[in-house]
Amino acid sequence: MINDIQNLKKLQEIDVTIDEIVNESQTLTHEMHTRRKELEKVREQVQTLSRVIEEKESERRKKEQDLKYEEDIVKKWEARLKEIKKQREYQALMFEIAQAKKANAELEEEILKLMEEIEGLKKEHEEITRKLEGMEKEFSEKEKFITERLKHLEEQKAEKERERETLAQSINQQLLSRYNLIRTKRGGVAVVRAWAERCTGCNMNIPPQLYYEVMKNDRVHMCPHCQRILYYEEEQEASGQTNSR
Ligand SMILES: [Zn+2]
């Protein structure tokens, strides 16, 4: 096999590895982003719940103060009742007291309901806080793992890029730009094996004369259908190649 084809094959291996590194990095970065957003959502839920509880507590306190105030008034009225001599005045105040007591009972009922509601909210708050703690723990572990992995991938990528640069220098510039063009147009694969009179890139038949030329591996040939660069390799070699990937 001539150097150009061999070098292009090597170049493609490096490029595929770089593509894989980039893909994995993107997937991991995306995963981190998604997890962070989920965590943020639960954090907000906890905050909202805390705020609602605070509001309900303050509403409860206000109602309790009102009740205390109203109950004091009733006590004063009841004390005054003993001093009233006139029947009509007495009855009028009795009526007032009865009305006030009814209103107070309703207020008391409201307070009880509020307390029940607060209790439920607090339970919910507790559960969601526990869930959040679990998520935070899981996230920080995952974050640590992903950060390390990303760092490793970044190093690997830099290493592969250096390797690529060196190799690219030894390839004919025209061929190299052709390779780069095909790669961008054909889903990252520009160099493919010709096998059984077919191009393994597009799976189309290669004309016998061209296939014969490709088998020689002494010149760069392209698939007439997909324009990918073709090389020929015996099955033994080729399977060894696949295994090493
Ligand atoms: Zn093809």
pLDDT number for residue 236:
60
Q: What does the pLDDT average to over 183-205?
A: 94
Integer Cα distance of 67 and 71 in angstroms: 6
- What's the CA-to-centroid distance between 193 and ligand 1, angstroms? 9
Phi and psi, residue 71, nearest 5°: -65, -40
- The widest CA-to-CA distance across the chain, in whole angstroms, is 130
- What's the CA-to-centroid distance between 183 and ligand 1, angstroms? 13
pLDDT number for residue 39:
96
User: Residue ranges per domain, the chain?
Assistant: 20-156, 173-244
- What's the CA-to-centroid distance between 17 and ligand 1, angstroms? 22
- What's the CA-to-centroid distance between 161 and ligand 1, angstroms? 27
List all residues 6 or more positions away from 104 whose beta carbon is below 8 Å from its beta carbon.
67, 70, 71, 74
Integer Cα distance of 193 and 214 in angstroms: 10
pLDDT number for residue 234:
84
- What's the CA-to-centroid distance between 42 and ligand 1, angstroms? 51
- What's the CA-to-centroid distance between 170 and ligand 1, angstroms? 25
Give the pLDDT confidence of 108-122 residue by residue, as tens digits: 999 999 999 999 999
Q: What does the pLDDT average to over 152-161?
A: 98
- What's the CA-to-centroid distance between 198 and ligand 1, angstroms? 8
Q: Can you give the pTM of this predicted structure?
A: 0.75
pLDDT number for residue 32:
96
pLDDT number for residue 3:
83
By three-state DSSP, how is residue 194 classified? strand
List all residues 6 or more positions away from 232 whose beta carbon is below 8 Å from its beta carbon.
193, 194, 195, 214, 215, 216, 217
Give the pLDDT confidence of 4-55 residue by residue, as tens digits: 889 999 999 999 999 999 999 999 999 999 999 999 999 999 999 999 999 9
Is the per-residue pLDDT at 94 higher than 70? yes
pLDDT number for residue 237:
57
Cα distances (Å, whole numbers) of residue 29 to 32, 146, 148, 160, 220: 5, 8, 12, 20, 39
Determine the topology of domain 20-156 in CATH: Helix Hairpins (1.10.287)
Sole residue written with tokens 């004091």: 72
- What's the CA-to-centroid distance between 182 and ligand 1, angstroms? 11
pLDDT number for residue 59:
97
Share of residues in the chain with pLDDT > 90 (%)? 90
Confidence of residue 1 (pLDDT cuts 50, 70, 90): low
In this structure, are residues 42 and 131 in contact, taking their beta carbons and an 8 Å threshold?
Answer: yes
Q: List the 191-195 sheet strands across, edge first.
A: 198-199, 191-195, 229-232, 221-222
